[in-house]
Amino acid sequence: MIFIIVSAILVLDRVSKILVSKYLTLNNSVPLINGIFHISLVHNRGAAFGLLRNQLPLFILTSLVAVILIWRSLRADKHNKVYTIALSLILAGALGNLIDRVFYGYVIDFLDFRIWPVFNVADSAITVGAVILGWSIIFNKNAS
């Protein structure tokens, strides 16, 4: 299950970033629902919301540590399915953005809801995984 989730998210993330980079120029936008949802190519050189801009070595190092710790946690013990799915989503997202940082020096973002900073599939996987993980820890006695 871990391999399937991580692979599916990584493929979706990579393909979407490649397509957006191929068909849009930097900082340009295509409205899909005018004023509500656009595809906008942004190169994010910071962390979430563009924080800590231009700290590439720090982002690569922390991403690598996170990937290793998550992988070790997933491989170490048998967890319940919800916990495994949550960590797999977070792992996939971390890997997707790490690939961008290593090969480009920035993260390719493109999902633009106009009321929120532009993000990508990997960011979405991390967020969904974190919400599921939090929910699982709070509401399930056997979260891990």
Is 13 an annotated catalytic residue?
A: no
Is 123 an annotated catalytic residue?
A: yes
List the structure tokens of 104: 């480009």
Write down the residue that tokens 């971390």 correspond to: 94
Q: Kindly tell me the sign of the dihedral angle through the C-alpha atoms of 97, 19, 25, 109.
A: negative
Q: One of 13, 100, 109, 112 is an active-site residue; which one?
A: 109
Q: Report which DSSP code applies to 31.
A: E
Distances (CA, A) of 96 to 26, 34, 86, 91: 20, 28, 16, 9
Q: One of 13, 100, 112, 123 is an active-site residue; which one?
A: 123
List the one residue out of 91, 101, 100, 102 whose CA is nearest residue 126. Answer: 91
Instruction: Report, as residue numbers or ranges, the catalytic residues.
Output: 109, 123
